[in-house]
Amino acid sequence: MNMKESLLNLSKRLALAKMVDAKLESKINELEEEALKDFLQQEILFAARQKVQEIQELVAVKQQGIITFEMTVRTNKQLIRGVKSTLNVTVPAIRIGTTAFLALSDQKQILEVVKSAKETGSNILASTAKMLKTQQVEIYKEATSGSLDHAKMAQAFDDMFEAVEEAKRFRKEALPVMAQAIREFDVRVEKAGHVIADFDKGKKVRAAFKVDVE
């Protein structure tokens, strides 16, 4: 499946996902029980809206790919000519430069190895003595301390409960923001579709346009 076929398939999926989103929102808004409405918004509508955004982003990626490919094809011949010209000039220079670079690199690597060996030996001796000094104290401290900090454990539970409530609140508040983002993305996706359509129209015109020079 090429990019245009994939884009067409994604566009159909996007239309279906948006229809499902709209129907879900309408049905949920008709409910009178607030607890049930909140649950369905957070667990069902939120997931459906995420799916719409995901497909929208895929459509945008495919559109960008098509536009980028078309623009690349239009400049490809000029690029090839430039590359050929550059190769004719630079290949000899690269060969000479590479030979010189390798010779100098070998010298530099040997020098760095010597310096590194000296520094490593000194560092090992210094760090060994320091570790011996500090770790003895740490070992005795850990041996005489308790296993768990009760205050930190209590705080961990409080943080966990707070995280659950924050997640619920975020999902509910995110729904209108996601809806606005979907509407804004629709505008950009539609504009990109017009650009691709113009490319296709230009190809057909060029294919049909012939000039007799007899």
Diameter over CA atoms, the chain: 103
Instruction: State the pLDDT at residue 4.
Output: 82
Please give the Cα distance from 181 to 20 (Å, whole number). Answer: 17
Instruction: State the pLDDT at residue 15.
Output: 92
pLDDT tens for each residue of 99-136: 877 777 777 777 777 677 678 766 775 776 677 667 76
First to last CA, the chain: 42
Please give the Cα distance from 31 to 126 (Å, whole number). Answer: 73
Q: Which two tokens stand for residue 188?
A: 């950009």
pTM score above 0.75: no
**DSSP one-letter string for 177-214:** HHHHHHHHHHHHHHHHHHHHHHHHHHHHHHHH------
pLDDT tens for each residue of 46-101: 999 999 999 999 888 988 888 888 888 878 877 787 777 777 777 776 777 778 77
Instruction: State the pLDDT at residue 121.
Output: 65
Indicate the residue type of 51.
K
For residues 100 and 210, the model is more confident at 100
pLDDT tens for each residue of 7-53: 889 889 999 999 999 999 999 999 989 999 999 998 999 999 999 99
Tell me how far CA of residue 161 lies from CA of 132, 149, 157, 166, in angstroms: 43, 19, 6, 9
Please give the Cα distance from 167 to 145 (Å, whole number). Answer: 36
Indicate the residue type of 122.
S
